[in-house]
Structure formats: structure tokens, C-alpha cells
A and B are shown apart, each in its own frame.
Chain A
Amino acid sequence: MNYELLTWLVPVPPLIAFFVIVLFANRSNKLSHSLAIIAAGLSWLLSMFIFVWAIGPKGVLQKPLVSSINWLPTADTFLKIGVQIDALSAITLFFVAWTVLMIFVYSIGYHNYGQPKGDHDQPGLPPHGATVESANAQSHKVMSIEPMYARFFAFISLFAFAMYLLVVSNNLLTLYIGWEIMGLCSYLLIGFWYAKPSARAAAIKAFLTTRIGDVFMLIGLASLYTIAGSLQYEVIFSEKVLQSLVQNASPFFGMSWAALIGLLIFIGVVGKSSQFPLHVWLPDAMEGPTPVSAMIHAATMVSAGVYLAIRFFPILSAGWEGGTVLTTPMLVMSIIGSFTALFAATIALSQRDIKRVLAYSTISQLGYMIAALGIGAYVAAAFHLVTHAFFKALLFLGSGSVIHGMEHGVYHEGEHIDPQDMFNMGGLYKKMPITFATFVIGGLALSGFPIITAGFWSKDEILSSAFNGSFLVVFIVLAVSAFLTAFYTMRQITLVFLGKPRTNAASHAHETPITMTLPLIVLSFFAIAAGWVGIPKAFPGLGGLLPNWFSDFVGSMLHGGEHAVEHHSLIPLFTSLFVSLGGLFTGYLVYRRMEKKTEDPMVWSLGSIYKMLENKYYIDEFYTKVFINPAKWIAEKVVYIWMDLKIIDGILHGISNFGLWTGNFLRQKFDVPVINRGGDNLAKSTKFIGSEIRITQTGKVQDYMFLALALSLLGSVIFLIIIF
């Protein structure tokens, strides 16, 4: 089979689906979602073909698949674009294809396909439910279909296209194109219910916060392109280019070009993967519909940031040999990553909204990956990226299912409560057994529940890399965050599913349709099994039973192999076990008795710290005061009113007024007295002279003759005088 062609084709079906839905199919919901799902299915199928080929004996371990075409003529050469499949893109393609397809299917149920149209629903707002008459002429409220159903599928198709494009790219330019199109889609999808002011604000916030990172990244691309003359991976990651990047100093702060470009690109990653200090957009992004949260927070967009960081590792770590001093970008990454991991985990402790907990958890887990890369644990970071994508997509979709079930209860009961507040739930395990079971699997994976779950293996690998590489601070910070992670996960599970229902809505919640539960089941399979491919050889008891395929496969990406230290200490293993089980157990202990009371026990136990956590350390407020408001003020008052209207236009009006004044002055002092009146006077005096000498005009020939004679005589006299 022509795998080169297949790779080119991977991103195409969703793009076609997008255009067809937007232009032709948008009036039919059924046609729209069929197109989207067929397209996602085709891309999935292509990806699976490629994946199976890639891991096979003739696959990418022998030689990565690269194919390029000329795109932009630049002077006497071309900027090339193309596709590439290597170990990293193969595994990314694998998890992206699965999660995307599952999310597409899930969206059908989530947007209430098959339900009646809402009574008062309008485009731009979430559906508010419809009244139906049942057989015995009693009317009751049920959920209603999303008024912009077709549009949703168009958007997520475009989103899927962008992600596939990013993964199969063999160069940073098309990666950046996919990256930015995803940014647009996340803007459109977060603001999907655009009539809600909060959604509108969240959409703008997401777009602009990530754009901060993107403009830095653009400069990074420009510098790299200037130096390397290309943006293709095979060129920019070649030994020759890496050498010259390390050896040549950039004009900024005495850094090498490798460090500068690495940092610039990393700022882009910070924006996209929602790391501190650009993390603020992601929790607000929960304004979008739940499948969007799963797309953005698990399968695609935030993963794209980490994917880029992993892809870019050769430059980020250029000059680092393992065991030596970390490069500047690596140092920055390990600090920002581990700080974000802890910082976001603490905020997650205090959130009441089921999706917001997961949002902060995502930020925290991405911090793990970034920190892992920062300390050089390349394979561990990639491994956690994969496992996290599966279990976090599972958790988000599960939370969507919970909200959906709760909304059902809310309509049924007519209660006015927030269906996303975990303190309004409780006891849902009876009502929603499939959601419960899958959610627990996802939650345990997130907490790193030992041996069974995928999360354990990937997280353990990061912790042991940190420990074995003697990055003790990173190790401790990550271990504490892991404990907090297990704690808030169990808090969530206990509050939502265990105990007794705390509201009527919760007691009338309802399991969601098959289109929603099926993706949960599929994803929960991966949330467990994805870990088995990466069991370290040195793991006591289990190591070596299964080959550590992941490490061999992805590790092949690094030129000189991974610089990991080989010995396997038992300390990180025991730490993993302790933090995971300890966190889960404590979480259960604290929250198991929550009945009707809706006060979080953390409020009194943490006191004022809780208030700070609940307000996310007041970072949003800080940004508003320090950046946003001054920017608005400068734009409006300084640049527009003061500079343009007052100074520049003021000078212009000054000049024109001066012109007017000069004109008036000239008219009054020169025109009128000298020219106008002068002319008048000239005319007058001419007339006067004329009338005075009129007497000479007698009309008699004798007089004229006499005058002529006299004048000639006079003339001759003067002539003679002049000559002699």
C-alpha cells in the first residue's frame, strides 16, 4: 500500500466534511453528523493503517516516511511542506484518531439528537428543554436538541482536520497552520453558545491568551528559518544545524540561538498547553459544550503543545548530554512544568464545578509532561501524553455524561440548581452505572492507581526519571502534586457517585444514551491497557513480562538514545504507591459522609487559604488590573485620543488654521487695500487722465498735423542731443 499517499490523505476527510456541512448540508442534522462521523471514521481508518504499518517490521524504525512538495517560492529556492510519519507522529496519530472518533460519536448523544426542538431555544444559547405530551395527555419537560447541531459538527470537523494536519506535518510551518486553525476552532467552540456573555468572554480569553504564545512562536519560527534555511524536521534537527544553533550566539542576553529559539517556541507551548502564567484561559474554556472540553483538553489542542515540545526536544536540549547541566530552555521547562503541576492541583482542590476540577487537573498533568521533558525524560513525557489523552478524554466525556444525566433530572424535577455543581450530586452510581464504572477507571488512571491503570505506569516513569536523574526538587514537587491529584479525584468520585443523592435532580438522574456510553467504554479500555506497552524492564516482579515496547519505539526518535540513568531505585516506586493510594484514601475519608450538607469541609479546614484557592490565587484579577485595563487605556486614551486626535490632527488643524489665517490676513491687508482698491484707483486715474487729455482730441486734421510736426521736431532735437 502507498503509505505516503495515505499520510497525505489523513487530514483531508474532516476538511471536506467541514466545507460540505457549511455550504450544503447545514439544514439537515442527520446529514451533517453522518458526514462528520464518516469523515472522522475515514481518518481513523487511515491512521490505523498507517499506525499498524509504522510499528511493523517494515515501519518507521527502519526509516521514517517523509514526503515533501514545494510550497512557497523564496528567492531562488522553495519553502517545502510535507508529511512525515515517525515513531512520535505514529503514536500521536494513534491516540488522536481514537479520541477524536469517540468524541464525534459522543457528540450525537450529547447534543440530544432525536429529541424534539426546544420551546424557547434560540441559536447561541444552550437548549432549554421541550415540553411534550405523553400518552395520557400529561405534559412534561424533556431535553431538546441543540439548535445549532449541524454547526457543531462542522466546527469539530475543522478542529479534527487541524489536529491531523499538525500531527502528520513534517515541518513547523504546517504544524503552525494546524496549531492556529485549532486556535480558531477552540475560539468558535468555546464561544459556541455565543449569546452567553460568559462564553463570549471565555472565547476571547482563550484566543488571545494563546495568541501571546503564538506571536513569540512566530518569531521563533522566523529565526529558525533564517538560520537553517528550512522548517523541515529533517533539516532543523540535523546534527549540522543543531551544532550551528548551539555554537552561534544570538543578539539577545548572550544566549545561544538554540536557547533563544527553544525559549520562543516554548512560550508558544506554554500558551497552548496552558502552563503558568498563561494557564488562565483553560478553566474558562469550560463554557463550551462538554465534547469540546474533551477535544480541547485531552485529545487535541493542549496535547498539541506538549507534542510540539517533544518534537522540538532536539533543539530544546541541544548541547545537553545527560548528567550535565540542563540547557536554559530545559531549566525553564522543569521549573514551569513542576510549578504548574503543583499550583493547578491546589486550585483543583477547591473547585465545585465538575468540569473545572478536570480543567485544573489537565493543567497540572500537562505540567507533569513539561517537567518531564525539562529533566530530559523524553520517553516518559511522550508516554504520559498518550495515557493522559485517553483517561482525560474519558473523564471529560464522563463528566459530560454526568451533567447530561443531571440535566435530565433537573428538567424532570423543575429544580433550579446548577447541574454542574458536584455538591448537588451524590449517589449517581445507582442511576448511571456505566458512567460510574468508566469514570472510576478514568479517575483511578488519573490518580495513578498502581499496576492496573495506564496512569500509574506513565506517572511512575516520570517520578523515577526525576529521582534517578537527581532532580530532587522536581521529584518532591511532582510527588506532592500526585498526592493532591489522587485526593481531588477521589473527592470528585465520592461527591458525584457515592453516598446518597443530595438533590431531587440527582435522585432522578438518568443514564445517558448508547452514543454517549459506548465511547466511554472504549476509552476506558485504553485508560487501562495503554499502560501495558510501557512497563519498565527493571520493574520488580512485572518488568520484562511484556516488552517495554513504548520506550524502544519512541526512544528511537532520539539520535543518541535516551540519556536516562539506568538503575532503578525502589524509592520512586514506593512514593508512587504511597501518594496514589494515600490520596485516594484520604479523599474518600473526608468526603464519604457528605449528605444534605453542601459546605465543603475544606472551607473550615483550610480557612483563608481556601478562599485564595477558590479564587485561583486572584491571578485573573491581577491580569485584569495590570495588563488588560492598562492596555485598553493606552489604546484608547494615549494612542487614539491623545496621539492621533490631539497631537497629529492638532498639528494639522493648526497648519490649516494658519493657512486660513494667512489667507484672511493677506486678503484684508493686501488684497483688499492694494490689489482691489489699487486696481480701482488705477481705473479711476486712467479715466481721469483720459478725460483730462480728451481736449487734445479735437478731430481737426490741422491740429494733428501741428502736433505731429511739433513732436517730430522735439524728437529730432533729443536725438541730436543724445548723439552729440
Chain B
Amino acid sequence: MNNSLLLYILMIPSLFAILLLFLPESKIRFVQWTALAGSLITFIASLFVWFGYDKALGGFQFEFIAPWFSAIGSSFHFGVDGISLPMVLLTTILTPLAILASFGIKEKIKIYMALFLFLETGVLGVFVSLDLLVFFLFWEIGLVPMYFLIAQWGGKNRNYASLKFILFTMGGSLGLLLSIQMIGLTTGTFDLVKLFELWPNISQSGFLSTVPLGLSLPTIKAIAFWAFVIAFAIKVPIWPFHTWLPDAHTEAPTAGSMLLAGVLLKLGAYGFIRLVIPLFPIESQRYAGILAGLATAAIIFGALSAFAQKDLKRLVAYSSINHMGFVVLGIAAAAYAMNVGDKGIIESANIALNGSILQMFNHGLSSAGMFFLVGVIYDRAHTRQLDDFGGLWAILPIYGAIFIFTSMSSLGLPGLNGFVSEFLVVRGAWDIFPLATALSMIGLFFTGAYVLKAIAGLLHGPRNNQWLQLKEINVREIFVIAPLMFLMLWIGIWPSWILNMINNAVILFF
């Protein structure tokens, strides 16, 4: 029963982070390579989990339980299924790439690298936790390193952005902590596997003795539900809780943006799928329409705002809101189908949720790639304003080709990864929320508009001789982007290797 592989995956980055702190600051190369080694070992370990997972068996595997606060029923309970495993893989892929992308950072390199590794532990912890309290613990652990990364290594406006980021997310966390406590207090356990059975079916009579503050059951459920929803909505972010994102993404250092967009946003959506829908199926179904409406708003307004940007990095940041909107639309469709007997609806919801989870993975690849490419050009030109550029394709042919490839993945071009997931979401959601899905096509159209605007502003147009001396993308940078491009193409052409994993877990949902 107890398999410690997940524990190792969680520990390795942190151990390496601590190790880094004892290394000499002056040996920059050594520090960098040690950090990279730590994240690569984690990646390899996660591959063992991926290939060791028995898809036929399904459910949670690689479970690990160790007592923690036995008095209040909380323990270190870890495990992965087909929903969390793609997220774990995404995290362990992106972290080494982000570290490799940061080899240009020179100041306070030790603490910088250590923060990334701590961040990895935090995020992975959220994905593998099967205990609410531990989930919360890692949720917060993931938050703090990112604050310092933005505040210390960020751009000009970093203080505002990092403060906004931490306050916004903390605001959500407060409610999260509160409702986790309420659930724990009411049921006497924090263990998710038990709660999945216990909490949705809990009845008034069984729990009156332990009721906190003398509240009624529906009140507690409502408070807990909305506290969860708001916390996760901020993290995704769902419109209108999204305004921290463009600031944080724009000001964060390149590798920070890669992980922020690539992985941290997924925490919110993952929270919806892992906690909100299974724990609150009735409430989820009741409010699914609102969620779909907000998702559509995110898709349309995210795309329009991205289209309005003149700063390339901000444009990419807004594109995340647009893309995560599709994730939420799929989740809303799935939420609607809870406890609905209709077979057709359930099939659609299943397809939509498959699409959502795949879209999370795909957005992780494409947004990390886009932020990285923005970083590459910013390192050289020290500007990100589209108006300053133009005609760069003639000067940087390889970079230009890579940029177009990656932005096509972001645009959802069929043949690349983004299309598969967007198609699945649209297919699934159309059956359930036809109006929201039809309106979201406006957003899909403007996705094309802003992506082409970025390409036209950066690469096309008359050659600007100011940039003749710009250096072509170097080998290290190609090593960062190449794995992402490979995955984009692979998922676009043959998505079933990952969709099988997802589908097996999603089927058990309904």
C-alpha cells in the first residue's frame, strides 16, 4: 500500500534547495547545474510514476500515508490518479526548463534557484495531496516563493505586482482555510478519500453534535462551497478576479512567468476538479451556469484585452485568461452533469472535462513557451513594446520560426496541441451550454487576431535596422524550447497517450 515514490518526488527539490544554500555563491555554474540536476532527478522520478501507473486499474495509486496530526484526523496522504498525474508531469517538465531558462540570472543566484525548487515542492504537493490540510499547507508553500521571485527579480513595477499577487491569493486562501477547518471539524477527518464519500452525503442528524458555531448544515455547505470557489477562481483566474495576473506575469522574471502561467494557474482549475465538484456536486450543478457565463466572459474579454495590448509580455499574459477560460468552460459543463442521469449529457460532460484537463496541460506548454520567447527577445533588446520591433524575422530566422510555431500552438491551430483540447471542450460544452459555447467563439476568433498581431508586430513588417546586431537564439535557449515544441506537436498529432490517462480518471467522475 505505502509507496514512497511520491514522497521522494516531493522531497528531492526541497533537499536540493537546502543543499544549494550551502554552496559557495561565487561558483555560479555549479549552483546552476546543481539546481538543474535536482529538478531533472525529480522529472525522472515522475516518469517512473507515469509509466508505473496502471491505467487499467484506475483510481488513486502510489498512495502514501503517514500520520501527522492524528488528533484532528489529518495525515500525510499522497496519491495520484489520471487527473493529477498529467499535472505532476507538467510541473516536473517545466521546472527544469525554467531553471535552464534562468541561467542568465546573475544576482543572488543561490536563493533564486532554491526558491524555484521550493516552489516545485509546493506545487507538486498540491497535486498529490489527498488530505485537505496538507493540500492547504502546500498551497501556501507554493505561494511564498513566487512572491519573492517577483519582488526580488521582477521588472520595474514589481513591488506593486508582487503585493497584488500575494494579497489577492491570500485573500482567497483565508476562505479556503476557513472552509477546510469547517469540513474537518464537522466530519472529524481531513482525508480526501474518506471525504469524497462522507461529505456530499452527510445528513443533518449525523453531525449536529459537532456543529461549529451552531450553524445549520446547508449554511456550512454554502459557506464552504463559496469559499472554495472564490479561492480557486482567483487562482485560475476566472473573470473578474483576473487583474492580478497581467501585472504579476508581466513583472515576474522570465522563468517565473513560465512557471506562474504554466503551473500555478493550474492549481486553481485543479482545485475545482479535485475538490469543488466531488465535494459539492449539488451546489456545483446549481451554479454551473454562472461558472459557464464567467468562463465565457474570460474567453471573450481575455482575448479582447490581449488584442488591445502593446506590450508583448502583457499580451501573452492576457492570453492566459483567454485560454484558461476554456478550461473553466469544460469544468462548468462537467459540474452541470453531476447527478444528471441522461447518458448523452454525461458523455458530453466527460468529453468536456477531458478537454479541460488536456487544455491545462497544453496551456502549460504553450504559455511557458510564449513567455520564454518573450524573455529571449527582452534579454537582447530590453524592450517588449511591439511598436519598437518589426521585421525581426529577417534578422532572427530561427527565432522567428520558433516563435511562429509556438504562437500557433497558442492559437489552437489544428495539428498542434491546443486544438485538440479546445475542440473537446467546445464539443462537450456545446451540448450543455450552447449559448455560452457559441459566444466563446468570439473569443476564439480574437485569439487569432491577437496572435497574428504579435507576429506582425514582432517578426513581420519592414526590417528595423536598429536591431541588426541582435543575436540569434542560442543553443541553451533552444534546449529550453525544443522539448515544449516537441510535446506540442506530439499531442497535436497523437493525443491519446495523455488523453487515455485523463479519460480513465474522468470516467469515474460521473
Q: Which residues of A contact B (CB under 8 A)?
A: 22, 70-76, 122-124, 173, 176-177, 179-181, 184, 187-188, 191, 194-197, 200, 203-204, 207-208, 211-212, 215-216, 218-219, 221-223, 225-226, 251, 631-632, 634-636, 639-641, 643-644, 648-649, 652, 656
Knowing A74-B350, A640-B308, say if A212 contacts B445 (CB, 8 Å): yes
A204 touches B350 (CB 8 A): no
Which A residues lie within 8 Å of B423 (CB)?
173, 218, 221-222
A122 touches B394 (CB 8 A): yes
**Residue from A200, A211, A636 in contact with B308 in the complex, judged by beta carbons closer than 8 Å:** A636
Q: Nearest residue in B to A223 (C-beta to C-beta)?
A: B430
B448 touches A181 (CB 8 A): no
Q: Which residues of B contact A (CB under 8 A)?
A: 164, 167, 240, 242-243, 246, 301, 304-305, 307-309, 344, 346-348, 350-351, 354, 391, 393-394, 397, 401, 404, 408, 413-415, 419-420, 423-424, 426-427, 430-431, 434, 437-438, 441, 444-446, 448-449, 452-453, 456, 459-463, 495-496, 499-500, 503, 507
B243 touches A122 (CB 8 A): no
- Complex Cα distance, B333 from A226, in Å, reads 14
A226 touches B430 (CB 8 A): yes
Knowing A195-B394, A204-B456, say if A74 contacts B347 (CB, 8 Å): yes
A222 touches B503 (CB 8 A): no
Knowing A181-B413, A216-B441, A656-B167, say if A643 contacts B301 (CB, 8 Å): yes
Which B residues lie within 8 Å of A188 (CB)?
404
Which B residues lie within 8 Å of A176 (CB)?
414
A635 touches B437 (CB 8 A): no
Knowing A177-B415, A195-B391, A216-B441, say if A72 contacts B430 (CB, 8 Å): no
**Residue from B246, B308, B354, B394 in contact with A74 in the complex, judged by beta carbons closer than 8 Å:** B354
Which B residues lie within 8 Å of A203 (CB)?
452, 460
B313 vs chain A, min Cβ distance (A): 15
**Residue from B393, B415, B431, B507 in contact with A181 in the complex, judged by beta carbons closer than 8 Å:** B415
B426 touches A222 (CB 8 A): yes
**Residue from A179, A216, A632, A640 in contact with B309 in the complex, judged by beta carbons closer than 8 Å:** A640
Which A residues lie within 8 Å of B441 (CB)?
215-216, 218-219
- Complex Cα distance, B437 from A351, in Å, reads 42
- Complex Cα distance, B304 from A216, in Å, reads 19
Knowing A218-B426, A219-B441, A222-B427, say if A195 contacts B462 (CB, 8 Å): yes
Knowing A74-B503, A640-B304, say if A122 contacts B448 (CB, 8 Å): no
Q: What would be 20 A-B contacts, judged by CB atoms less than 8 Å apart? A: A70-B496, A74-B347, A74-B350, A75-B350, A76-B507, A122-B463, A123-B394, A176-B414, A177-B414, A180-B419, A187-B452, A195-B391, A204-B453, A208-B449, A219-B430, A221-B423, A222-B426, A636-B308, A643-B301, A648-B242
Main secondary structure of the interface of A (DSSP, over half): helix
Knowing A71-B496, A74-B350, A222-B430, say if A197 contacts B445 (CB, 8 Å): no
- Complex Cα distance, B462 from A378, in Å, reads 47
Closest 5 CB pairs of A and B: A636-B308, A177-B414, A640-B308, A194-B460, A635-B304
A242 vs chain B, min Cβ distance (A): 19
B434 touches A200 (CB 8 A): no
A186 vs chain B, min Cβ distance (A): 13
B452 touches A208 (CB 8 A): yes
Which A residues lie within 8 Å of B507 (CB)?
75-76
B450 vs chain A, min Cβ distance (A): 9
Which A residues lie within 8 Å of B459 (CB)?
194
B148 vs chain A, min Cβ distance (A): 21
A180 touches B414 (CB 8 A): yes
**Residue from A194, A219, A636, A656 in contact with B426 in the complex, judged by beta carbons closer than 8 Å:** A219
Knowing A181-B415, A222-B426, say if A194 contacts B461 (CB, 8 Å): yes
- Complex Cα distance, B468 from A123, in Å, reads 13
Which A residues lie within 8 Å of B351 (CB)?
74-75
- Complex Cα distance, B424 from A74, in Å, reads 9
B449 vs chain A, min Cβ distance (A): 6
Which A residues lie within 8 Å of B167 (CB)?
656
The residue among B164, B456, B500 with the most chain A CB atoms within 10 A of its own CB is B456
B460 touches A200 (CB 8 A): yes
Tally inter-chain residue pairs, CB-CB below 8 A: 147
B445 touches A211 (CB 8 A): yes
Which A residues lie within 8 Å of B448 (CB)?
207-208, 211
Which A residues lie within 8 Å of B404 (CB)?
188
- Complex Cα distance, B344 from A225, in Å, reads 12
- Complex Cα distance, B77 from A502, in Å, reads 87
A150 vs chain B, min Cβ distance (A): 11
Which A residues lie within 8 Å of B461 (CB)?
194-195, 197, 200
Which A residues lie within 8 Å of B427 (CB)?
221-222, 225-226
- Complex Cα distance, B167 from A124, in Å, reads 47
**Residue from A195, A207, A221, A635 in contact with B446 in the complex, judged by beta carbons closer than 8 Å:** A635
- Complex Cα distance, B453 from A290, in Å, reads 25
Which A residues lie within 8 Å of B309 (CB)?
640
Q: Nearest residue in A to B510 (C-beta to C-beta)?
A: A75
B358 vs chain A, min Cβ distance (A): 10
Q: Nearest residue in B to A652 (C-beta to C-beta)?
A: B243
- Complex Cα distance, B167 from A223, in Å, reads 43
- Complex Cα distance, B166 from A656, in Å, reads 13
Which B residues lie within 8 Å of A251 (CB)?
434
B299 vs chain A, min Cβ distance (A): 12
- Complex Cα distance, B452 from A165, in Å, reads 25
Which B residues lie within 8 Å of A222 (CB)?
423, 426-427, 430, 437
A215 touches B496 (CB 8 A): no
Which B residues lie within 8 Å of A632 (CB)?
307-308
Beyond the given pairs A635-B305, A635-B308, 10 more chain A to chain B contacts, judged by CB atoms under 8 angstroms and listed by A's residue number, are: A71-B495, A73-B499, A124-B460, A177-B414, A184-B408, A197-B462, A215-B441, A215-B444, A635-B307, A649-B243
A180 touches B413 (CB 8 A): yes
Which A residues lie within 8 Å of B449 (CB)?
208, 631
A455 vs chain B, min Cβ distance (A): 34
B420 touches A72 (CB 8 A): yes
Which A residues lie within 8 Å of B463 (CB)?
122, 124, 195
- Complex Cα distance, B400 from A22, in Å, reads 12
B362 vs chain A, min Cβ distance (A): 14
- Complex Cα distance, B402 from A22, in Å, reads 11
Q: Nearest residue in A to B310 (C-beta to C-beta)?
A: A636
- Complex Cα distance, B460 from A194, in Å, reads 5
Which B residues lie within 8 Å of A218 (CB)?
423, 426, 441, 444
- Complex Cα distance, B424 from A221, in Å, reads 11
Q: Nearest residue in B to A215 (C-beta to C-beta)?
A: B441
- Complex Cα distance, B449 from A177, in Å, reads 19
Knowing A70-B496, A639-B308, say if A219 contacts B438 (CB, 8 Å): yes
Which B residues lie within 8 Å of A221 (CB)?
423, 427
Which B residues lie within 8 Å of A184 (CB)?
408, 413
- Complex Cα distance, B459 from A218, in Å, reads 29
A73 touches B408 (CB 8 A): no
A123 touches B424 (CB 8 A): no
Which A residues lie within 8 Å of B401 (CB)?
22
- Complex Cα distance, B503 from A667, in Å, reads 56
Which A residues lie within 8 Å of B424 (CB)?
72, 74
- Complex Cα distance, B423 from A46, in Å, reads 32
**Residue from A73, A197, A636 in contact with B500 in the complex, judged by beta carbons closer than 8 Å:** A73
Q: Nearest residue in B to A211 (C-beta to C-beta)?
A: B448
B500 touches A181 (CB 8 A): no
Which A residues lie within 8 Å of B503 (CB)?
73-75
- Complex Cα distance, B503 from A212, in Å, reads 31
- Complex Cα distance, B413 from A222, in Å, reads 16
A312 vs chain B, min Cβ distance (A): 18
**Residue from A72, A225, A631 in contact with B496 in the complex, judged by beta carbons closer than 8 Å:** A72
- Complex Cα distance, B449 from A636, in Å, reads 13
**Residue from B354, B394, B445 in contact with A124 in the complex, judged by beta carbons closer than 8 Å:** B394
B430 touches A73 (CB 8 A): no
A284 vs chain B, min Cβ distance (A): 14
The residue among B167, B346, B446, B449 with the most chain A CB atoms within 10 A of its own CB is B449
- Complex Cα distance, B60 from A567, in Å, reads 71
